[in-house]
């Protein structure tokens, strides 16, 4: 009787499952038929002729964008972009570029070290006038980029106008395979304290970290700071290989779970570490995502490193590549990943949107407690919360507007033209005379910025008039208005400390390229200082 009951229950479950699957398949068939009907009527009756490749491509992209921001379709024509994203390599001259709206042209913003652009003598600020004889006036930055890129070994003619020079410069540049270093800078930031800045996890990232760590130990590093701020992630395998350098062999780093069995996998440290004992800190911020969070989270869960900074992005999804018809690829979210404590740090719920259509975050009240190897409590959802939580930057609006403006870029170009040399990277400062020159330059450039305080004040004044309070409080409103009135020179002086920091960082990039730029940003860096303090405390504990 018992066996018969079990068999009947199994039959009911199988029947229910089959019915559910049939319903699901029926929904798919019905909606595909609807989509086909709508497209055919659009194709037949729409007032203008439509390109089917273009229209259907729109449909695919819009559909995937509603799923999550990480699921993407790459057509056969997009494969070059995909390879660049996945490997970090492309054929070109090796330079960052930016579009200046005030001159409606694209300019060189930073040539990469030892690249064709650098070897040709291009510098930041050079205005791209033509490529292979074609005037680039009004070209978008995408159009310029497409013309600069090409097969390694091919040559193109570039004409640039250097600010301050009457004649243009013409040069022939041969493209090479370009791959930006993922460790643009490493070094000793204090006696015995090694520092590695890692920008991504594309192919070769672990190799660069291994070289840097080995070299730092030769230089006398007895502790390490790994900087993952702004690192948006990449390959899970590269992340695991990096963890393997500082964690004993055989430790679980991350595991994935998905709907399909093929999406479930476990990753362990698979090689003997370079150093599993040296005190270590990892720097993170809101731009640290994906593989950065795997590294930081695994090292936190294994109690191998102190995490310092602000809460990370919170990407707990894993993507896989699927071939699709027509020679394209579908990058598809196929699972979630879990770090050693068992937590998933996915912060955003793309299946349950807010009433306004925005993506909701997992509230802290709904996160769960997990425990590190040493028993310290940590939580899932919402990214990695650092062990040492630093305050978020609170910059004045004028600082953001200044850094985003063409005037900021133009001032750096102006400064370089007036100063053949500057102090070493990490030591660049502006004198009072330099800052006065900067204010004069910005005034002549008629730099525009948003005074948020005045905007809020104007709104308050409007509401006070509407509700009848204004006449009674007019004197107070007049006094406040005089305080909030925009005065460019005064606002630039008031925010000198923050603005000067950004100017000096840009100048370091101009004179010393990316390596020097990174070194300059470490000057008076409170997050780095907090990490070094934590490392020193750990060393004292070990020694005692």
Sign of CA dihedral 136, 141, 143, 144: positive
Which distant-in-sequence residues (6+ apart) come within 8 Å of 2 by Cβ? Answer: none
Dihedral class, residue 291 (left if φ above 0, else alpha if ψ from -120 to 50, else beta): alpha
Active-site entry in 241, 301, 387, 505: 301
Contact partners, residue 225, CB within 8 Å, separation at least 6: 189, 193, 194, 195, 196, 280, 281, 282, 283, 528, 531, 532, 535
In sequence order, what are the residues at sequence separation of 6 or more whose Cβ sits closer than 8 angstroms to the Cβ of residue 350?
A: 67, 68, 359
Distance CA 340, CA 287 (A): 22
Q: Establish whether 490 is a catalytic residue.
A: no
Q: Which residues contact 88 (CB under 8 A, 6 or more apart)?
A: 179, 180, 182, 200, 202, 203, 204
Q: Three-state DSSP class for 106?
A: strand
Nearest CA to 97 out of 58, 51, 143 is that of: 143
Question: Distance between CA atoms of 310 and 389, rounded to whole angstroms?
Answer: 6
* 301 labelled catalytic: yes
Helices marked H in 163-322 — which ranges?
A: 205-218, 236-244, 291-301
* Contact of 384 with 293, CB cutoff 8 Å: yes
- Give CA 459 to chain center in angstroms: 35
CA distance 159 to 128: 6
Round to whole Å and give the CA distance between 145 and 77. Answer: 16
Long-range contacts of the stretch 132-135 (C-beta < 8 A, 24+) = 132/156, 132/157, 133/157
Is residue 320 annotated as part of the catalytic site, yes or no? no
Helices (H), 261-303: 291-301
Contact between residue 209 and residue 245 where contact means Cβ atoms under 8 Å apart: yes
Is residue 343 within 8 A of residue 378, CB to CB? The reply is yes
Residue closest to 525 by CA, chosen among 311, 312, 309: 309
The active-site residue, picked from 126, 252, 315, 387, is 315
Which is nearest to 499 in space by CA: 447, 539, 540? 447
Angle at 538 between CA 535 and CA 544, to 5 degrees: 145
Catalytic: which of 290, 291, 341, 405? 290
Instruction: Report, as residue numbers or ranges, the catalytic residues.
Output: 290, 301, 315
């Amino acid at each position: 009787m018992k066996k018969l009951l079990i068999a009947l229950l199994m039959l009911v479950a199988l029947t229910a499952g089959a019915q559910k699957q049939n319903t699901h398949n029926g929904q798919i068939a019905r909606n595909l038929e609807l989509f086909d009907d709508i497209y055919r009527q659009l194709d037949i009756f729409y007032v203008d002729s439509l390109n089917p490749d273009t229209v259907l491509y729109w449909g695919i992209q819009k559909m995937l964008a509603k799923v999550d921001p990480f699921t993407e379709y790459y057509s056969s024509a997009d494969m070059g972009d995909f390879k660049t994203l996945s490997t970090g390599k492309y054929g070109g001259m090796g330079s960052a570029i930016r579009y200046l709206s005030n001159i409606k042209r694209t300019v060189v913003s930073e040539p990469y070290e030892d690249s064709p652009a650098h070897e040709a003598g291009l510098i930041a600020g050079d205005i791209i006038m033509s490529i292979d004889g074609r005037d680039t006036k009004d070209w978008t930055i995408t159009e310029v980029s497409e013309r600069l890129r090409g097969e390694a070994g091919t040559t193109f003619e570039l004409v640039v106008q250097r600010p301050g020079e009457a004649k243009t410069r013409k040069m022939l540049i041969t493209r090479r395979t370009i791959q930006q270093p993922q460790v643009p800078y490493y070094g000793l930031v204090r006696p015995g304290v090694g520092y590695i800045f890692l920008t991504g996890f594309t192919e070769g990232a672990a190799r660069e970290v291994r070289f840097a760590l080995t070299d730092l130990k030769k230089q006398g590093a007895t502790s390490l700071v790994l900087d993952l701020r702004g690192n948006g992630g990449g390959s899970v395998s590269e992340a695991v290989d990096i963890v393997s350098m500082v964690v004993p062999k055989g430790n679980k780093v991350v595991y994935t779970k998905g709907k399909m069995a093929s999406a479930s996998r476990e990753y362990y440290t698979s090689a003997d570490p370079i150093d599993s004992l040296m005190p270590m800190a990892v720097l993170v911020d809101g731009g640290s995502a994906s593989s950065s969070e795997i590294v930081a989270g695994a090292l936190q869960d294994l109690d191998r490193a102190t995490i310092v900074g602000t809460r990370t992005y919170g990407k707990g999804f894993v993507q896989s590549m699927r071939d699709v018809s027509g020679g394209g690829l579908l990058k598809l979210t196929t699972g979630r990943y879990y770090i050693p404590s068992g937590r998933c740090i996915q912060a955003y719920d793309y299946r349950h949107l807010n009433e306004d259509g925005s993506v909701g975050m997992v509230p802290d009240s709904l996160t769960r407690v997990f425990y590190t190897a040493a028993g310290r409590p940590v939580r899932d959802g919402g990214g990695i919360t650092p062990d040492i939580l630093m305050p978020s930057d609170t910059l004045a609006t004028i600082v953001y507007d200044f850094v985003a403006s063409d005037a900021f870029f133009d001032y750096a170009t102006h400064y370089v033209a007036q100063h053949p040399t500057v102090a070493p990277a990490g030591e660049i400062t502006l004198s009072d005379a330099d800052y006065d020159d900067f204010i004069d330059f910005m005034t002549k450039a008629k730099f525009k910025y948003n005074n948020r305080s005045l905007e809020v004040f104007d709104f308050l004044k409007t509401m006070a008039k509407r509700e009848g309070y204004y006449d009674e409080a007019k004197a107070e409103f007049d006094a406040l208005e005089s305080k909030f009135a925009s005065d460019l020179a005064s606002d630039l002086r008031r925010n000198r400390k923050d603005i000067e920091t950004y100017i000096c960082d840009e100048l370091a990039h101009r004179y010393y390229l990316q390596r020097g730029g990174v070194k300059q940003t470490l000057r008076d860096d409170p997050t780095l200082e907090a990490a070094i303090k934590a490392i020193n405390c750990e060393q004292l504990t070990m020694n005692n």
